[in-house]
Amino acid sequence: MKSKILRSLLFGFAAPCLAAMGTPQKSKSDKFKREAPAPLKFGSDGKFRILHLTDIHDVDPDMDDDADRKIPLARDIETINTIEKCLDIAKPDLVVFGGDNISGYWQEFTYDYIEKTIKKIVTPIAERNIPLAIVFGNHDGEAGFHREFQMLIYSEYENFRSNFNDADVYGCGNCCLTIKSSDGSRDAFGIWLIDSNDYVKRPDGSFGYDRVHADQIEWYERRAAQLREANGGEPLPSILFQHMPVQQELDMLTETAENGENVIDCGGKLFSFGDKLISGRLRERPCPPDESLDAHDQLESWKRMGDVIAAFFGHDHVNDFHINCDGIDLYQTIGCGYFTYGREHGGRLIILDETDPRRLETETIEIPRMTTAEI
């Protein structure tokens, strides 16, 4: 969601400051001690199913103590129903939350409400004992409830697969998961989870969207090289999840004279992907890192390493398009939650194939409303 950039400037620098002080390690408290979960693994049919749920934007209706800001209960009911129905349809081997998992800009949030809200959106996954991984978005920690604290809450779920960071790099939640071959003998596929961060101060003092930082890209390249070496010198086929899209999505738009489906208005001019649109819908301008940042290097890094076959983004709630940039597929996933703008609500199913790991199947899942109440 992009309409409330820096609603909480007094709190907004809490997460970057915490990140600058270093990456916290996993808690040694007994609360977080458990046996290592079973490895992610291709099924006997050679398939692995992933459900991408992004922009859930959940809040807790009980925290509504502002007479001018009511929280319709129907929004909460619809959001949880969307999660549950997507799970039932996708039957995933892994769920990935794609950022803006909570609407962290709400001033009514307290630490208790943050915990309650996160546990509420995790519960449908936990009830089905499905592995869960997450990335954070620009809004999760916006009101000052830093993402490291939120990661601790997610970590209480015994089948949670993310980490604070796999290395001491900027942000929170940068990690790489691997999927074992169906016989369990080797790592057959990689899943990158990258923090696209939140906001950056422009030279004129205003704010825009931050980018994936250089040390995050350097860590990715080091780890990808290790996986390549372990894979007999061949890049380990991988997909990547992060909240904000790469700059190249915006670059691929071209001006057009004709209005119509999959054409957007930007500053009074019409733009589309033209024949570069493979499938899906373009309904709003892609919002990558701020134009004051040269943020092309992340995708260039993927090309250099040769492992990332596709990347999946959220952030732009009404887009679910598929384009290809220099051999790498870029996908947008529609928003899941009802506490923010959107049209259709749902997620994206991704099916990997062990026998053909550089090809995947994917489809948008749309869930109709279950109530008729005003939202």
Measured CA to CA, the distance from residue 56 to residue 118 in angstroms comes to 10
| Domain span including residue 145 | 48-366
Residues 207, 15: Cα–Cα separation, whole Å = 16
d(CA 297, CA 355): 31
- What distance in Å separates the CA atoms of residue 180 and residue 171, rounded to the nearest whole number? 27
- The model's pLDDT over 206-252, given as tens digits with 9 standing for 90+, comes to 999 999 999 999 999 999 999 999 999 999 999 999 999 999 999 99
- Please indicate, yes or no, if residue 219 is contained in any of the structural domains: yes
Q: Confirm whether pTM is higher than 0.95.
A: no
Partner residues linked to 363 by β-bridges: 349
Distance, CA of 27 to CA of 40 (rounded, Å): 23
Instruction: Establish if 14 belongs to a structural domain.
Output: no
- What pLDDT does 22 receive? 39
Q: Is there a domain that residue 373 lies in?
A: no
Q: Per the domain annotation, does 275 fall within a domain? A: yes
**Residue 276 in domain:** yes
Give the CATH number, domain containing residue 243: 3.60.21.10
Position 4 in a domain: no
Chain centroid offset of residue 264 CA:
24
Total domains in the chain come to: 1
Tens of pLDDT, residues 110-134: 999 999 999 999 999 999 999 999 9
- Rounded Cα distance between 160 and 217, Å, is 24
Contacts of 314 (CB under 8 A, 6+ apart): 54, 55, 98, 99, 100, 137, 243, 332, 333, 335
Answer whether residue 99 is part of any domain.
yes
Q: Which residues contact 301 (CB under 8 A, 6 or more apart)?
A: 217, 220, 221
